[in-house]
Structure formats: structure tokens, C-alpha cells
């Protein structure tokens, strides 16, 4: 096999571009600001609680690739009227010890003080402060997100779909881990990116 040494550098550069792709480049950036003081507005709706098939997933990346993960245990609810979220009584509580990733060694590392420090920060919460309706089932959701002991108000786009007896909220956006005090850099030759993609696929039914 003959290799053209003149084209080899270009080929290696092209390969590096593929390996360096940032998953967060394909998602919306969550807007971040300081925590918002909240007075709960339950409105005149029905409380819907999450079903077991609800998912909260994430993707992190570094120079050489990416990893997917999720939280296996969490609870939460929406307040819904006529198939639409109302008020601001909507909340998610995540058991951080349930963190999972696609690599066992990474899962252990994510639970350590370098990242989530689950022994110290056992829960993460997202407490909605406002939901603004858009077009065709789209919304902008804002809420106080507590992660790694740091609380910021974040907002992101979401869609809401009504089923026969369920309501589903889906969203995909990215946050910056350093906004929440998670600053572990990774190896010098394999730096971990700041952006983390979050995927929500939350289905809820009326509380029994």
C-alpha cells in the first residue's frame, strides 16, 4: 500500500476534527442567571407524577470522544390543566447515587469529589419558576437548578404533548458544568469540555 506523505497531514487533521466534535454544538444553550426567589403558584390544575419510563440523560465530551449517562432514580411532578402545564408547581428531585454512564470506571469517577461528589451532595433538584408558552406545544421552561451544591436559574426550550391519560415533556439543551462548581479538567492531552448535554423525556400521569 502506497501512502502519499504530502496528503497524510491533511488526512490526520480531518480525522482530528471528527474526533473533536462537541455534542453541545447541536443543542440549545441553557440561559443561566442567579437563583430566583419563588412563591409557588399551584394554579387550578391537577398534579401529574412521573411514570417509571421517564428518562433524564446526559452526554459529556472531551477532546478524544464522548460518553453518555443517565440518572436511574428520580421523582417529580407537573401541574397540568387541559393538557398544558400551569402555574409553577413543577419539580424534579434526582438521587445522585443513581448516576450511570456507559463506562463502569467513569461511573465511579462521576460519583467522586472530582465531579458530582454524591456523598456530600446526595440530591440535585430542578424547581420550576416559570413556564412560558410558545407555538405548537413549545415552551420556555425556567427553574432553579441545584447541582453540586450550587443553585442557578436556568431556562431552556421544551415541548409538551398530551396523551390519553399522560402528559410528556421533552427537552434537549446544554449547560456548563463549571457554572455549578464542577471544574475537574481531565488529562492535559485529553481535556474535558465544559458543556454537558441534558436530555429530558418525562412522562407523567395524574397522581393517584
Return the domain boundaries, the chain. 21-206
Contacts of residue 139, defined as CB under 8 A and 6 or more positions apart, other chains included, come to: 85, 131, 132, 133, 157, 158, 159, 160
Confidence at residue 83, expressed as pLDDT on a 0 to 100 scale? 85
Confidence at residue 3, expressed as pLDDT on a 0 to 100 scale? 45
Confidence at residue 44, expressed as pLDDT on a 0 to 100 scale? 83
**Which pairing describes strands 167-176 and 28-29: parallel, antiparallel, or unpaired?**
parallel
Class in CATH terms, 21-206: mainly beta
What are the residue ranges in the chain where pLDDT is below 50? 1-3, 5-18
Confidence at residue 12, expressed as pLDDT on a 0 to 100 scale? 42
Confidence at residue 19, expressed as pLDDT on a 0 to 100 scale? 53
Detail the DSSP E strand segments found in 45-149. 46-50, 55-62, 65-71, 74-81, 84-85, 91-95, 99-101, 123-133, 138-147
Model pLDDT for residues 159-175, shown as the tens digit of each residue: 999 988 999 999 999 99
Amino acid at each position: 500500500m502506497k501512502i502519499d506523505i504530502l496528503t497524510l497531514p491533511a488526512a490526520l487533521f480531518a480525522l482530528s476534527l471528527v474526533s473533536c466534535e462537541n455534542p453541545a454544538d447541536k443543542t440549545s444553550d441553557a440561559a443561566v442567571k442567579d437563583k430566583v426567589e419563588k412563591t409557588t403558584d399551584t394554579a387550578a390544575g391537577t398534579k401529574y407524577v412521573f411514570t417509571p419510563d421517564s428518562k433524564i440523560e446526559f452526554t459529556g465530551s472531551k477532546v478524544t470522544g464522548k460518553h453518555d449517562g443517565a440518572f436511574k432514580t428520580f421523582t417529580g411532578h407537573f401541574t397540568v390543566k387541559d393538557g398544558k402545564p400551569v402555574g409553577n408547581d413543577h419539580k424534579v428531585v434526582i438521587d445522585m447515587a443513581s448516576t450511570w454512564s456507559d463506562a463502569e470506571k467513569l461511573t465511579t469517577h462521576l460519583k467522586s469529589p472530582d465531579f458530582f461528589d454524591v456523598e456530600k451532595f446526595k440530591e440535585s433538584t430542578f424547581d420550576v419558576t416559570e413556564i412560558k408558552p410558545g407555538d405548537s406545544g413549545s415552551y420556555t421552561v425556567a427553574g432553579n437548578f441545584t447541582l453540586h451544591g450550587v443553585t442557578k436559574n436556568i431556562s431552556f426550550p421544551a415541548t409538551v404533548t398530551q396523551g390519553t391519560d399522560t402528559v410528556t415533556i421533552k427537552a434537549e439543551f446544554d449547560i456548563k458544568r463549571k457554572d455549578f462548581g464542577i471544574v475537574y479538567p481531565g488529562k492535559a492531552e485529553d481535556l474535558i469540555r465544559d458543556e454537558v448535554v441534558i436530555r429530558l423525556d418525562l412522562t407523567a400521569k395524574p397522581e393517584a
